Amino acid sequence: MKIILPIILVVGTAGLMVLALVSGGNARGTVGIAGGSAMFTPKSTTPQAALHNLLVDVQRRHWDRAYDALSRTSKADKEDFVQDWTGSNGSLRSFSALEGFDPRPLHITDDQADMRVALHWSTPVGPIEDVRDIHLVREGDIWRAVWPKYKVPTVPAEVVPVTYLRWDLVTGTADDQWGSKNVDAPRVRIISMNAVNTAEGAIVMGEVVNEDTIPAFVNVNATLVDGTGNTIDDETSFDKIDHVLLPKQVTPYRIDFPNIDLNKVKNVRMDVKAALVPASADPVIGVMDQKLDTDAQGKTVLQGELLNESGQTVNIPHVIVSFYDNSGKVVWVSDGYVDRALLPQSSEPFAVEIPRSVSDKVHNFHVVVNQYSLARS
């Protein structure tokens, strides 16, 4: 009996170790923890296996092995390939981790294959899904991905003159009397509001304008009230708004109430809060070539390009769009983060999705670009 128990423990431990080694490749491993199938990677004898192996290596940041698994016809060098996955310049991608992926074949022949993969990223602003088409070729008995050259944005050395514009708040210093420090809060107004029911819950959306001559930090709250006057829920616009509004600037806002049926709501109380805030008028980001289109998955999207017209890097651009029907009513508000940094005088594509239920009603749209810059935080 004294010998049997240690033997059982040793055999069980060894069995578990072997099981752990051979059962790697879980695409949805814990974020930030590399899994342990370093020794036994299945041979890439099919396009599916090749793509799976590549993405597992990318997920575990085994860049040497991932790059070695690419086809020799790939145009990307190793640095480009790594930067394609890890991002640069403090972009959202550089703070993200590949949490999982769902590949599916589009077209496969004996020696060529096209695969579409949905990449699930874990980011500081929440989960983001990215869809990518990957071409694979058979080289001998091994399938390999052909990686296109990632166009790393380059910026020529130049001097961009900037007329700095900022607002300072002077507080009265003489005494603490009444009225000695009374600078009015910025005057902002909700110019439209629409509440809709969706499968996920109720959504309150609309637009806010800064009618004042100074910048405002804006937040919109909505309270849902039932027929008896009791509060059902209370939410804020959180990140679905451009919080800092310059004079005469308009921003969409959207407030989500998950799992709440709008039919039970009798009244919606809106409350917009504005505060004086130091602000800068830069950078200016243009939104070019906006058009409604259908993406690779058949979804209706508004796409275009963001053009950074200033001389500073915008690390994380955030696009917020209000969509109007033909009477000018806001029927939907969408937002999306761009995972590449916006370098000075350069552009990056963006796309935001429009739900199928409202895509037919959309007649016009208004795009606002919010931005987060590490240099200013």
Partner 1 sequence: MSRWIPICAVLCLLGISPAQEIHAPQGVTAGEEASISTTGSGKAIFYLFGSGVSEKRDVNLGEEVRLPGSDLQSAGQYFAVLCSGDCNSVSFFVSPATPSILTFLVHPSRVPVAENDAVSGVAIPFDRYRNLVLAPEEVSFRLSAGKVSVLSRSVLAKDGIAWFRATSGKSAGPLQVTASLNDLETLRAVQQVASEPCNLRITGESNARGILVQTEPVHDCAGNPVPDGTIVTFTATAGGEKSTVDAPIKQDIARAQIAASGSAVISAASGVVMGNELHLGAH
Stretch that binds partner 1, among 24-32, 173-181, 227-235, 333-341 (CB under 8 A): 173-181
Residue from 5, 39, 184, 263 touching partner 1 (CB under 8 A): that is: 184
- Asked if 249 touches partner 1 (CB under 8 A), the answer is yes
CA 169 → CA 162, 215, 280, distances in Å?
A: 22, 11, 13
Q: Which is nearer to partner 1, 239 or 305 (CB)?
A: 305
CB of 264 to partner 1, least distance (A): 37
Maximum Cα–Cα distance for the chain, whole Å?
89
- Asked if 248 touches partner 1 (CB under 8 A), the answer is yes
What is the three-class DSSP state of 7?
helix
- Asked if 190 touches partner 1 (CB under 8 A), the answer is no
Phi/psi for 317 (5° steps) reads -75, 145
d(CA 85, CA 56) in angstroms, rounded, equals 13
Site string for partner 1, 13-42 (x = CB under 8 A): ------------------------------
Contacts of range 183-186, beta carbons closer than 8 Å, 24 or more positions apart: 183/276, 185/216, 185/274, 185/275, 185/276, 186/210, 186/212, 186/214, 186/215, 186/216, 186/245, 186/274, 186/275, 186/276
d(CA 200, CA 203) in angstroms, rounded, equals 9
Burial class (CB in 10 A: 0-12, 13-18, 19+), 177: exposed
CB of 329 to partner 1, least distance (A): 18
d(CA 302, CA 293) in angstroms, rounded, equals 6
- Asked if 82 touches partner 1 (CB under 8 A), the answer is no
How many residues touch partner 1 under the rule CB under 8 A: the total is 39
- Asked if 247 touches partner 1 (CB under 8 A), the answer is yes
- Asked if 351 touches partner 1 (CB under 8 A), the answer is no
Site residues (CB under 8 A) for partner 1, limited to 251-310: 279, 281, 284-291, 304-305, 307, 309
CB of 150 to partner 1, least distance (A): 22
134 and 117 Cβ atoms separated by less than 8 Å: yes
Residue from 4, 39, 126, 178 touching partner 1 (CB under 8 A): that is: 178
- Asked if 3 touches partner 1 (CB under 8 A), the answer is no
Residues that bind partner 1 (CB under 8 A): 163, 165, 167, 177-180, 182-184, 209, 211-215, 246-249, 279, 281, 284-291, 304-305, 307, 309, 347, 366-369
